[in-house]
Amino acid sequence: MASDILSVSVVFLASAVVAVPIAQRLGLGSVLGYLLAGIAIGPWGLRLISDVDAILHFSEFGVVLLLFLIGLELNPKKLWQMRKPILGLGGSQVVITSIVIAGVVMAFSGWLPAITWRDALVVGMGLALSSTAIALRVIEEQNLGGSETGQSGFAVLLFQDIAVIPMLAILPVLAGGGGGSWLDFAWMIGGIIALLVGGHFLLRPLFRWVVLSEVRELFNVAALLLVIGIAVGMQSLGLSMALGTFLAGVLLAESEYRHELEIAIEPFKGLLLGLFFISVGMAVNLGLLLQYPLQILLAVLGLISLKGLLLYGLARAFGIRAKSRSQMAAILSQGGEFAFVLFTAALGEGLLGRELSSFLLVVVSLSMMTTPLILLLQDKWFMHTFKAEAEDDLESDVIDREPRVIITGFGRFGQVVGRLMFANKIRVTILERDPSQIQFLRKFGYKVYYGDATQLDLLRAAGADKAEAIIICTDEPDEVMEVVALCQQYFPNLKILARARSRVEAHQLLSHGVEHFSRETFAGALDLGRQALISLGMHPYKAKRAEAHFRKLDTTALRDLLPQHSEDVHLASRAKEARKELEEIFDREMRGERERHNGWD
The pLDDT value given to residue 119: 84
Rounded to an integer, the average pLDDT of 94-113 is: 81
CATH of domain 2-386: 1.20.1530.20
Q: Is 76 exposed, middle or buried (0-12, 13-18, 19+ CB in 10 A)?
A: middle
Distance, CA of 129 to CA of 307 (rounded, Å): 10
**Hey, what CATH topology would domain 398-520 get?**
Rossmann fold (3.40.50)
pLDDT exceeds 70 at position 571: no
Q: Is 146 exposed, middle or buried (0-12, 13-18, 19+ CB in 10 A)?
A: exposed
Reported confidence tier of residue 310, pLDDT bands at 50, 70, 90: very high
Q: Measuring CA to CA, how many Å separate 570 from each of 3, 498, 502, 504, 577?
A: 52, 20, 15, 11, 11
Query: What proportions of the chain, in percent to the nearest 5, are helix, strand and coil?
Result: 70, 5, 25
- Quick one: what percent of the chain has pLDDT higher than 70? 80
Question: 3-class DSSP state for residue 431?
Answer: strand
Rounded to an integer, the average pLDDT of 508-518 is: 80
Nearest residue to 184 via CA among 171, 197, 200, 194? 171
Residue type, 452: D
C-beta separation of 139 from 149 below 8 A: yes
Beta bridge partners of 407: 430, 471
Rounded to an integer, the average pLDDT of 215-235 is: 81
Reported confidence tier of residue 307, pLDDT bands at 50, 70, 90: very high
Q: What are the structural domain ranges in the chain?
A: 2-386, 398-520, 531-601
Rounded to an integer, the average pLDDT of 325-347 is: 80
Nearest residue to 446 via CA among 415, 486, 477? 415
Distance, CA of 574 to CA of 578 (rounded, Å): 6
C-beta separation of 509 from 500 below 8 A: yes
DSSP character for 109?
A: G
Rounded to an integer, the average pLDDT of 455-460 is: 83
C-beta separation of 349 from 387 below 8 A: no
CB count, 10 Å around CB of 182? 12
pLDDT exceeds 50 at position 147: yes
Highest mean pLDDT among 204-213, 249-258, 407-416, 530-539: 530-539
pLDDT digits (tens, 9 = 90+) for 89-99: 888 989 999 99
Same fold? 2-386, 398-520: no
Residue type, 196: L
